Amino acid sequence: MGGMPTVPVPALSRRSVLLCAAAAALAPLPALSAGVCTPRELALRFDAAVTQKLQVPQNEVWIYAGLAEAELAAQPDGLAQPQYLLVVDSCAFIQTAFLFWRLLPGRYELVGATPASTGSPLRPGCLETPCGVFPQASASDAGRALSSRVYDFGMHRARRGTGAGYGALHLQARAAVGRSRALLGTPQSDGRVLLPPSLVAFLDAYGVLDAQRRNGTTPDGEPMPFAGQYLVVIDSEREERPAWTIAA
C-alpha cells in the first residue's frame, strides 16, 4: 500500500505549527478576514462551490473520523503535521468522499462531503479499490493536461472484481464526466475513485491536496496553509444505505 514518509519535526517548530493550526480551526467567523483561508472559511467556500453535496449528521462525522484515524494508525508512521485529508468509504452502501481537516490525532473537522464511486467487486475486468493511506505520487502539472485535474496515487496491488486473484491498479482520483457522472454513489468504477467535477475543481483551485507544492494560495490570492496530500480509503462494511448518502 502507499507508504507515508516520515518528516522529522523539531519540538519547538511542531508546537508552533499546532498552535497556529488550533488558532485557525477555532477562530470565530469575523476573524476570517485576516487574509488566511482557515478550515472554517474553506468549509463555507466548499458549500458555495461544490454541487452534489451530502449533509452528513454529526454523529456520522465522528464515526468516519474514527475510521480514518484507525486507518492512519495502522501505518508505520503517523502524520507529523495538521493537514487536510480526502477520505473515501468504498462500502457499496456508502460510496462517499469526505474532505476532512485533521488538526491532531482524533481531532477532525468535516469540510464537506459528496458522493463518490469506487471499484466494483462485481464487474468483470474491474479492480476493487484497495483500502489504505495513499500519498500523491507527484504534484506535477501533468494531472492538468486533461479538462479536469487527475490526482495520481501511484501503482498498487488490487483484488480483481470477479475474485480471480489480483492485478495492478493505477490508483487515481478524478472527475466523473459524461455518463460516468450517473455512477456517483454506486461502486461501478474500474478501480479509480470517481468524484463530482465540482469537487475536483474545488480541490485543484484551492490546492487542498497539493502539499508538495510551495506557496499555495486560494483563487483570491490568500495563503492556503496546511494543504495535505493523502487519500485515505476505508470500508465501513455497512449493510444498508443511510438516507444522508443520497444527494439532494
| Selection from 37, 184, 27, 213 nearest residue 115 by Cα | 184
- Tens place of pLDDT per residue across the chain (248 aa): 444 443 343 343 444 444 444 444 444 444 444 578 999 999 999 999 999 999 999 999 999 999 999 999 887 776 878 999 999 999 999 999 999 999 988 899 999 999 999 998 777 778 999 999 999 987 655 455 456 899 999 999 888 866 678 888 899 999 998 888 888 999 989 999 999 999 999 999 999 999 887 667 888 888 889 999 999 999 999 999 999 999 87
Q: How many CA atoms lie within 13 A of 180 on its CB side?
A: 18
What pLDDT is stored for residue 147 in this prediction? 61
What pLDDT is stored for residue 95 in this prediction? 97
Q: For residue 174, list its beta bridge partners.
A: 150, 194
What pLDDT is stored for residue 31 in this prediction? 41
**C-alpha 90 chain-centroid distance:** 12
Distance CA(226)–CA(80), nearest Å, equals 11
Tell me if 178 sits within 8 A of 109, measured CB to CB.
no
Edge to edge, the sheet with strand 132-135 lists 107-115, 96-104, 83-89, 230-234, 132-135
What pLDDT is stored for residue 180 in this prediction? 83
What pLDDT is stored for residue 21 in this prediction? 45
What pLDDT is stored for residue 140 in this prediction? 54
Q: Is 117 helix (H, G, I), strand (E, B) or coil?
A: strand
Task: State pTM to two decimals.
Answer: 0.83
Distance CA(108)–CA(122), nearest Å, equals 33
Tell me if 233 sits within 8 A of 129, measured CB to CB.
yes
What pLDDT is stored for residue 24 in this prediction? 45
Tell me if 61 sits within 8 A of 108, measured CB to CB.
yes
